[in-house]
Amino acid sequence: MRFLVALALAAVAAACGDDHTHAARDGHDHTHKKREVPSVKLTPPSRPLTWGSVNILHTTDSHGWLLGHQKASFPEPNYSGDFGDFASFVTHMKELAIKKDVDLLLVDSGDLHDGTGLSDGFPSGGVDAHASNEFFKQLPYDVLAIGNHELYIYNNTLDMHQNFAPRFNGRYLSSNANITVDGISKPVGSQFAKFKTRKGREVTALGVLFNFKGNDKNTTVQPVEAMVKEAWFADAIKDEPDLFLLAGHMPVSRDKWPLVFNAIRTLHPTTPILILGGHTHIRDCLQLDGRSMSLESGRYMETVGWMSADLPAPKGHGHRHNGEDHGSGHGPGTHTKNITFTRRYLDPNRVTFEYHTGRGKFSFDTLWGRSITTGLKQLAKTFDLSFEFGTAPHDFTINQAPYPSNNSVLSVMAAALPVALTVNNTRASIPSIMITNSGSLRFDIYAGPFTKNDQFTASPFADSFLYISNVPFSVAAAVLPTLNGDGANNRRRDEAVEAELWARGYVGTRYREWLEEMARRDASLGIEARGAAANMTLGYVTSDACPGVGDDIPHAPLEFHSIPDFIASASPDVADDAPIDLVFVDFIESQLLGILNSLSKDKVYTTADVSLYTEVLATQALGIYAQQAWN
C-alpha cells in the first residue's frame, strides 16, 4: 500500500470565493452542489439524544470526505452533509451545551489523508491533504489523534507536525508516533494533554496509534506494550484527573486498548475513562468496566459518534445536573458506582443535524459553516475534481453484487487493467495476466458522470505495477487461485499474510466482516421483522456490546457478497508452456514471489526478475478505462 509521493502545495483559502458552481465542458453542471433539502426523502432520527454532564461528538477516518456523499443511490444520501453543515451543527450543539450547563467536547481519532480528490487530487508539487486540512483546522476540536495514513509518507507527516499540530495548541496527540527532524526524533504532535473543560473538569488525554509498521523512514511508531512502560507515560497518568480521555487510532475491540486501560486502572481504579477509537471503519462500542465506555464511529464522514456520561462534579465543586444533586463529587459511593453512559451513531445529513439542534432549514446554517462549504467547493474547482472521464451506465459496488458480475466494481477493475496498463506500453502485444488486491478498491461507483473525484474515491492508492517476463502460462495462471486458496497450508499462510497486512494498515477484512455479520443477522430475522425492514432505507444496522440501540436512524442492511482477496484480468488464450508477462501490483511483490517459487519447477524467481511494467498507477486505471469504455 504505497502512496504517491508528493511535495508541497500552498493552502487554499478556506472561506473565500463565491458560492457559484462551474459548468463542465459539455454545458452540464456536475460539481458538488449544496443541497439545502436532500434530493431524496431522508428518515429523521428516531429519538432525541440523551445528554449527560459530559458529552462528546466524535469523528474518525474521514479520509478527505469533507464535501459529503452526493450520489443519489442509497445509502449515500444518508451521509450527504458536508463539513460546512457539520461546522454549523457543532456551533448549535455547543450553544445547547451552554444552555444545559454541561460539557461538550469535539474529538477526532485520525486518518485525514487518502480517500477523495479533496485530499489526494493536489497538483504536482503538493502535499496530500494539506489543503483539505485547512478546513479541518477551522473546527474547535478539543482533542485529535494521529492515524496511520498520516505516516505513510514523510512529507505528509512533516506537514502535520509543522502546519497542523500547532493549530491545536498541544491537543493534537501522537503518544507513540514520532518524526525525525534535523536528526532529532520528537512526537509528531504531543504525547499527552492536560486541560480543563468549560465546566472545570480536569482531563488527561492520550492519543494512541495501533501497532502500525507501514510508516515511512524517519518516522517511528512505538508498540503500545512499550509505550505504557515509558517514564513519560507513568508521569502523565500519575495524578488523578476528573476523567481520562483516550483518543486513538486503534479499534475499540480486538486490539491494544486494554493495555492502556489497565495501566491507568492500576493507579486509578474508579476514575472515569472515555475511549474514542478508530481505524477499522466500523461502528462499535464496548465497556471495559462500569466506569468507562469505548466508542468507534465509522468512516468517510458516514458517522458522527455521540457519547454522554453522567460524571461526578469537578473535584471540589458542588453541582446539580438534570435536577439531581451530585454533591461535591467525593461523597460515599460517588466514585465506585457504575456511570450512566449513552452512545449514538448519527447519519451526517441536514435532516439529522436540524433535528438534534432544533433548527429549521432557514435557521440552521451559520455564516462560518457557509464559508467552509464555499471554500471546499472552490478547492474542488481548483483541483478540477468535476472533470469527467465517462458516464457509468449503472451502479457498481464492492460487496452488494457478486464477483464476477456486471454490477461488481471488482469486475470493472479486472476489465480496466489490460486497457489502462497497456497504454503507450511497448509490451502491450505480449500476452499477460494482471493481478491486484481487492483491498485497493475502497468505494463503490455510482451511475452517472465518473469524475476525477470518483476515480480517487474508488481507487485512492497510487500503487505501481510490476512484472516478471517469460513466466510459463500454466505457472502464471496458478498464481491467482493460490493467492486466494483455502487449504490448510493456505489458511496458515493467509493468517500470516493478514497479520502483515494489518500491521501495514489494511482494514478491509474487518470492515467486510462487519458488513457480512449485518447481512447475516438480517437473514435470520422472521418474516414480520423483514417486512418492517423492507420499509426502511438502506444503511448500517449496528449490533455492539453496549446497552440499548446505537443507531440514530433505523435502516435495512445492505446486501452482502463475499469477494476474493485478489482479482486478475482474463487469462490469454495460449498454450500452457507459452511465456507470458505476469503483472502485479507492487504491494504484493514479496508474497507473489514466494507463491511463484512454490509453483515453478524450472526457475527460482527473485527481485532481480522484477521490473516496472508501466508508469500508470493504480489510482489512474479506472479513469483511463472509463474514457474508452464509458463514452
Q: What pLDDT is recorded for position 571?
A: 97
Q: Is the pLDDT of residue 399 over 50?
A: yes
- How far, in whole angstroms, is CA 361 from its chain's centroid? 29
CA distance 575 to 108: 56
In terms of Cα–Cα distance, which of 437, 445, 458 is closest to 401?
445
Q: What pLDDT is recorded for position 485?
A: 83
Q: Could you tell me the three cell numbers for 148? A: 496511520
Q: Could you tell me the three cell numbers for 511? A: 470492515
Q: What pLDDT is recorded for position 523?
A: 87
Q: Could you tell me the three cell numbers for 572? A: 490469454
- 74-93: average pLDDT: 98
Q: What pLDDT is recorded for position 10?
A: 33
Q: Determine how β-strand 103-108 pairs with β-strand 54-59.
A: parallel
What mean pLDDT, rounded, does the chain reach? 90
- 313-323: average pLDDT: 57
Q: Is the pLDDT of residue 362 over 50?
A: yes
Q: What pLDDT is recorded for position 1?
A: 37
The residue that leads in pLDDT, 19 or 187, is: 187
pLDDT one-digit tens code per residue, 245-286: 999 999 999 999 999 999 999 999 999 999 999 999 999 999
In terms of Cα–Cα distance, which of 625, 80, 67, 555 is closest to 389?
625
Q: Determine how β-strand 143-145 pairs with β-strand 172-173.
A: parallel
- Give all strands (DSSP E) within 302-441, no chain letters: 304-309, 320-321, 324-325, 341-346, 388-392, 432-437
CA distance 497 to 604: 21
Q: Could you tell me the three cell numbers for 245? A: 480521555
461 by Cβ neighbours in 10 Å (0-12 / 13-18 / 19+) ranks as: buried
pLDDT one-digit tens code per residue, 127-175: 999 999 999 999 999 999 999 999 999 999 999 999 999 999 999 999 9
In terms of Cα–Cα distance, which of 122, 88, 112, 239 is closest to 165?
112
- 394-422: average pLDDT: 98
* Residues sharing a CB contact under 8 Å with residue 10, sequence separation 6 or more, in sequence order: none
The phi, psi pair for 48, rounded to 5°, reads -65, 160
pLDDT one-digit tens code per residue, 455-503: 999 999 899 999 999 999 999 999 999 999 855 556 666 677 788 889 8
* Residues sharing a CB contact under 8 Å with residue 394, sequence separation 6 or more, in sequence order: 407, 447
Interior/surface letters 342-376, b for 16+ CB within 10 angstroms, e for the rest: bbbbbbbbbbbbbbbbebeeeebbbebbbbbbbbb
CA distance 451 to 389: 6
Q: Is the pLDDT of residue 14 over 80?
A: no
CB 473 within 8 A of CB 581: no
- How far, in whole angstroms, is CA 580 from its chain's centroid? 38
The phi, psi pair for 511, rounded to 5°, reads -65, -45
CB 597 within 8 A of CB 605: yes
DSSP readout, 185-215? EEESSBSEEEEE-TT--EEEEE--B-----P
The phi, psi pair for 623, rounded to 5°, reads -65, -45
β-bridge partners, 392? 448
- Residue 94: count of CB within 10 angstroms of its CB: 15
pLDDT one-digit tens code per residue, 496-553: 778 888 988 989 999 999 999 999 998 887 666 656 667 899 999 999 999 999 999 9
DSSP readout, 159-179? HIIIIIGGGGTT-EE-TTEEE
CA distance 483 to 566: 7
Share of the chain above pLDDT 90, in %: 83
pLDDT one-digit tens code per residue, 94-117: 999 999 999 999 999 999 999 999
N- to C-terminal Cα distance for the chain? 31
What is the value of pTM for the model shown?
0.90
pLDDT tier at 358, thresholds 50, 70, 90: very high
User: CA-CA-CA-CA torsion for 593, 594, 595, 600, nearest 10 degrees?
Assistant: 80
Q: Could you tell me the three cell numbers for 79? A: 451521509
Q: Is the pLDDT of residue 612 over 60?
A: yes
User: CA-CA-CA-CA torsion for 595, 599, 600, 604, nearest 10 degrees?
Assistant: 30
Q: Is the pLDDT of residue 12 over 50?
A: no
Interior/surface letters 466-500, b for 16+ CB within 10 angstroms, e for the rest: bbbbebbbebbbbbbebbbeeeeebeebbeebeee
pLDDT one-digit tens code per residue, 566-594: 999 999 999 999 999 999 999 899 989 99
Which domains does the chain possess? Answer: 54-381 (3.60.21.10), 387-484+564-629 (3.90.780.10)
CA distance 128 to 296: 25
Share of the chain above pLDDT 70, in %: 88
CA distance 471 to 582: 7
* Residues sharing a CB contact under 8 Å with residue 183, sequence separation 6 or more, in sequence order: none
